Homo-oligomer: A and B are copies of this chain.
Amino acid sequence: MIPAFEWKKFKRGPQVVLPKDAGLLLGYAGLGEGDRIAEAGSGSGWLTVFLANVAGEKGKVYSYERREDFLELAKKNIVKAGFENRVEFKLKDAAQGFDEKDLDCIVLDCGDSHLLLANAFGSLRKNGLCAGFMPNAEQVNAFVTEGEKQGFEHWLSLESIVREWLARERGTRPKNVGLTHTSFLTLLKKP
């Protein structure tokens, strides 16, 4: 168990997937023990920690990143989590292909995720999922359109608005100010 209040031990670099969005993926994709998952890119390795945490020692996370500095940061966070045996880092642009086959899930979280969909399709098992995190609505559309062209089924595109609530003696209400947007999550299924 790595509750969000322990995340301060992890370093925060470039893109970071927050508990609200990691949870959205975990909940809908149903990731669990034994899953073989690839992600591109590693970013700060936060999502990598989430994925390794549920995939367990029987599972594996293949984490692709083209920038060496990001990869080093992600590695440090994985070591802090104690998951180095569950993760294989690759200094490689996933646009050149994923080395694995028959993966359960591939998570794309980079600028042009839709350009990786042809490769992703080839590396997933039947009924495997390709998940994309994207901040803009147009990216969701491009991801779905390109995904369908590559043979995927568009299963779900989701947005999660999470509010923190105050519960005090004088009453219960949401906090006044907070996060109003992070990313959309699109889930494509390989038929």
Contacts and interface: CB of A to CB of B under 8 A. Distances in A.
User: How many chain copies?
Assistant: 4
Contact of A178 (B2, B154, B167, B180): B180
Contacts of A178: 177-178, 180
Contact of A30 (B20, B50, B162, B176): B50
Interface stretch (A67-75, A87-95, A115-123, A135-143): A135-143
Interface centre among A1, A21, A135 (most CB of B within 10 A): A1
Interface residue tally on A, bucketed by range:
35 or more
B138 A171 contact: yes
Contact of A171 (B23, B53, B137): B137
A1 B129 contact: yes
Contacts of A97: none
Contacts of A179: 176-177, 180
A33 B20 contact: no
B27 A135 contact: no
Contacts of A2: 30, 32
Nearest to A137: B137
A5 B156 CA distance: 10
Interface in A149-172: 154-172
B181 A180 contact: no
A16 interface: no
A141 B170 CA distance: 10
B22 A4 contact: no
